[in-house]
Structure 1
Amino acid sequence: MTLDRRAFLGRVAAVATASAVAPALALPGPAQAATWKKRLTGADLDTNSRWQVAGTDLGIPYVLENGSIGYLFGDTFNTPWPEGPPLPNDWRSPVMLRSNVHPGAPGGIVFDSAARVAGNGRAPEIMHNGHHGIGIDGLWEVSVIPNDGISFSETGRQLISYMSIENWDSVGPAGPHWRSRYAGLAYSDNGNDFVRTPLKWWNNGNNTDPFQMWTMQRDGDWVYVFSVRAGRQDGPMMLRRVRWDRLFYPESYEGWGWNGSNWGWGRPCTPILTGRFGEPSVRRLHDGTWVMSYVNCVTGCIVTRTAGGPDQVWTAEKVQVFPWQEPALYGGFIHPWSGRNANELHLMVSKWTRGLDNRSTAYHVSQFVGSL
């Protein structure tokens, strides 16, 4: 099965919108730019010859319970891009590849295995996906897109936050944006098969719920959850926290909010930032620095901010990747092993470009190296 043409063009429109470039004078100089290190996926690479992962995106890295890194990919195909040819092109999502190679190694990231595969062979999707049909909960579902992953050494359990996509081309006052039906959590106790829980953080009728795209980071007993709207829209970024062993209990989530005189936990969420955010990624590095990245959908740049803690003041944006380096870019997910020094920030960057005939010309993930 493949994405139908309407859905495909709708998602391309969302990517193109996110990559609109502001006037050059509004952008910082190129001296700040991160550098491309290597392309990680493609029909010409071993991701395809070993696991039939050719055209894909995202590559969200998180630490597994055994200490290595899992990489979560979104809509994945055994052809270079979503629309083929040939068709059908084995559409899957999410898919996980794994690696124990440090991204700072001379050769960059090298994948060594795939979830649900013993050795080489087709990497299947790791949880149920409705694929333009009825999803596991009886509701229409176009696809399931991962947002982030987290694991717990105490139990060996892994969790993935995801979006159930209702459509890729929901038209509203701000233009076309994809619409999620809800955000959810899936878990695995064997590192391969993920079970979607009944928990749902429902989107609203206006597609403006700010708790749809999650990124998660643990610090001690707490997991901090940063979230924004689906579809790379204008809106707020929210911050919540929950004890690591209470993630399945929505009533245990505490909001970070402003009461008119000070900030505090256990309140209705108040936006910590506002803007037009792409998919957020937040990681706490080993030196205690918190780093946030996302696509600024006004400038089309992947940017980062840093802070001393999740509920501290975040710095101004620093540009890491410009559209002229990687046209139609998105993602910019932070590798958790970044930060051995200030000049080692590893980012997973997706690229989806198309030609004048609207057919894709690139759909893959690359590794970039920037600085804090």
Structure 2
Amino acid sequence: MNMRRRTLIGRLAAAGAAGMLGSALAAPGPAQAAAWRKRLTGADLDTNRRWQVAGTDLGIPYVLENGSIGYLFGDTFNTPWPEGPPLPNDWRSPVMLRSNIHPGAPGGVVFDSAARVAGNGRAPELMHNGHHGIGIDGLPEVTVIPNDGISFPETGRQLISYMSIENWNSAGPAGPDWKSRYAGLAYSDNGNDFVRTPLKWWNTADNKDPFQMWTMQRDGEYVYVFSVRSGRQHGPMMLRRVRWDRLFYPESYEGWGWNGANWGWGRPCTPILTGRFGEPSVRRLADGTWVMSYLNCATGCIVTRTATGPDRVWTAEKIQVTSWQEPGLYGGFVHPWSSRAANDLHLLVSKWTRTPDGRSTAYHVSQFAGSV
């Protein structure tokens, strides 16, 4: 992940302004040592036996239209890690497993089905993927990586935000880990087959566009979209909102911005936080608490912040999982059924460890339980 050990330094564009969000300059809280609950994927688990999901990552949980939970996985293989052996190893992305088990149950998350599969059987990818070839739009595409999912009971429709990956190493060992070509939206009206829409939020040539890695959370009539640059590089976090029935209309997205006197909606986005962010995850808990999680790529820890609303003050970082607990970690996606109760913050954490010459030794997703 090319993470360097340095202190996270960030700021808001208008530090000290009335109504501003939390400042990344605040000292992170003490390590809370979230407890490892269980490993969820792997060649030795039933995810492989039942659906041929062995080596995989991410596991982004979101509420489906029927009230259960879908888990979005990125590059997925029927071998323990991406390079096999054997080869070919049935590369797919994205893939979805599902569960109606509460993550706080004694046995933790237990998957009961896979999208596009009746019972057991190979779980196929949810949408077209170029796989080092040509994407659905005729452009070169390395792979398709999910950002987040959201569903709408009013219509039965599900949406997935994704990145079309241009390359995995855009700036060498000291730079970002990858470059997306664009962020896009795909939808499904049957919960299984997702259609990639023509919508594209294009990345810039220098890989600096801050609207590539999305996380989405609905609250009332609005969906709030938090986003950062691709590649886990240093940069801003932005906040937009859009009415839930206008997600396919880019002109309807409102930015949260500072005008020199106050914060407000309908303005060009002003960074709400600055840092070296991994994939962000934001969820609204049942009691109204908003929880944000991400990999702080400067410290190598999964951290969380909380707020009373998406456009309110965010707390300082609270360390949940360290690289000593889970070497090669990333992700840290908040389960939407988490709560403020002790040890009821459930995070899906990825692990990818490699030897100095690049050979993988682990590539899977685990469940951790901490506290907000």
The answer on whether the counterparts of 2:176 and 2:233 sit within 8 Å (CA) in structure 1 is no
Q: Deviations over 1:215-241 (max 9, x none)?
A: 000000000000000000100000000
User: Structure 2 vs 1, CA of residues 169 and 220 (structure 1 numbering), >3 Å: closer, same or farther?
Assistant: same
Match of 1:180 in 2: 180
Give 1:295 deviation, angstroms.
Answer: 0.3
CA distance change for structure 1 residues 176 and 230 in 2, over 3 Å: closer, same or farther? closer
TM-score, normalisation: structure 2 = 0.93
SS in 1 for 2:251: helix
Partner of 1:12: none
Instruction: In structure 2, give the amino acid aligned to 1:240.
Output: R
Residue 89 of structure 1: SS of its match in structure 2?
coil
Unaligned runs of 5+ in 2: 8-26
2:130 matches 1:130: yes
Question: Deviation digits for residues 112-170 of structure 1, max 9, x if unmatched?
Answer: 00000000000000000000001000000000000000000000000000000000010
Q: What residue is the counterpart of 1:359 in the other structure?
A: 359
Displacement of 1:342 in angstroms is 4.2
* Matching residue's letter, 2:95: V
Q: Deviation of residue 198 (structure 1)?
A: 0.2
Query: 1:93-172, aligned counterparts within 5 Å?
Result: 93-171=93-171
Aligned to 1:203: 203
- The residue number in structure 1 matching 2:344 is 344
CA drift at 1:175: 1.9
CA contact (8 A) 1:79 1:86 kept: yes
Residues 280, 244 of structure 1: CA spacing in aligned structure 2 closer, same or farther, 3 A cutoff? same
Question: Which segment drifts farther, 336-345 or 242-251?
Answer: 336-345
1:312 corresponds to: 312
- Whether the aligned pair in 1 keeps the contact of 2:217 and 2:282 (CA below 8 Å) is yes
Deviations 1:170-201 (A, max 9, x none): 01796243000000000000000000000000
User: Which amino acid is the alignment partner of residue 263 of structure 1?
Assistant: W
Distance 2:274 2:359 in 1: 34
**Cα gap change, 1:124/1:102 in structure 2, threshold over 3 Å: closer, same or farther?**
same
Look up the match of 1:64.
Answer: 64
In 1: Cα distance, 2:345 partner to 2:262 partner: 33
Q: Residues 241-270 of structure 1, C-alpha deviation per residue, up to 9 Å, x if partnerless?
A: 000000000000000000000000000000
In structure 2, relative to structure 1, the CA distance for the partners of 1:302 and 1:146 (3 Å cut) is same
Matching of residues 284-323 of structure 1 within 5 Å:
284-323=284-323
Contact 2:130 2:136 in 1 (8 A): yes
State the Cα RMSD in Å.
Answer: 1.4
SS of 1:341 mapped into structure 2: coil
Q: What is the deviation of 1:358?
A: 1.8
Change (3 A) 1:284 1:28: closer
Three-state SS of the structure 1 residue aligned to 2:49 is: helix
* Rounded Cα–Cα distance in structure 2 between residues aligned with 1:240 and 1:301: 26
- Structure 2 CA distance, aligned partners of 1:27 and 1:235? 18
Deviation at 1:341, TM superposition (A): 1.6
Per the alignment, residue 237 of structure 1 pairs with: 237
Matches within 5 A, 1:57-96: 57-96=57-96
The structure with more helix, counted as a fraction of residues = 1
- AA of the residue aligned to 1:284: R
For 2:251, the equivalent position in structure 1 comes to: 251
The 1:229/1:102 distance shift into structure 2, 3 A limit, reads same
Residue identity in the other structure for 1:332: G
Q: Give me the whole-angstrom Cα distance separating, in 2, the residues matched to 1:294 and 1:78.
A: 27
Cα pair distance change 1:82/1:266, threshold 3 Å:
same
2:264 counterpart letter in structure 1: G
CA distance in 1: counterparts of 2:62 and 2:176, whole angstroms = 30
Equivalent in the alignment of 2:268:
268
Following the alignment from structure 1 to structure 2, what is the Cα–Cα distance between the partners of residues 333 and 168?
21
**Where does structure 1 lack aligned partners over 5 or more consecutive residues?**
1-14
Alignment pair present for 1:189 and 2:189: yes
**Local SS of the residue matching 2:343:** coil
- Whether contact under 8 Å (2:30, 2:318) holds in the other structure is no
Q: Take 2:288 and 2:28, find their aligned partners in 1: how far apart are those partners?
A: 29
- Tell me, yes or no, if the aligned pair for 1:21 and 1:323 is still in contact at 8 Å: no
Specify the code of the residue in structure 1 equivalent to 2:333: F
Residue type of the alignment partner of 1:300: G
> Which of 1 and 2 has higher RCO (CA within 8 Å, sep 6+)?
2
Cα-to-partner distance string for 1:271-300 (whole Å, 9 max, x where unaligned):
000000000000000000000000000000
2:343 & 2:115 partners in 1: Cα distance?
A: 31
Aligned pairs for 1:36-75 (under 5 A) are 36-75=36-75
Rounded to whole Å, the distance in 2 between the matches of 1:232 and 1:339 is 27
> Deviation of residue 343 (structure 1)?
3.1
TM-score, with length taken from structure 1: 0.93
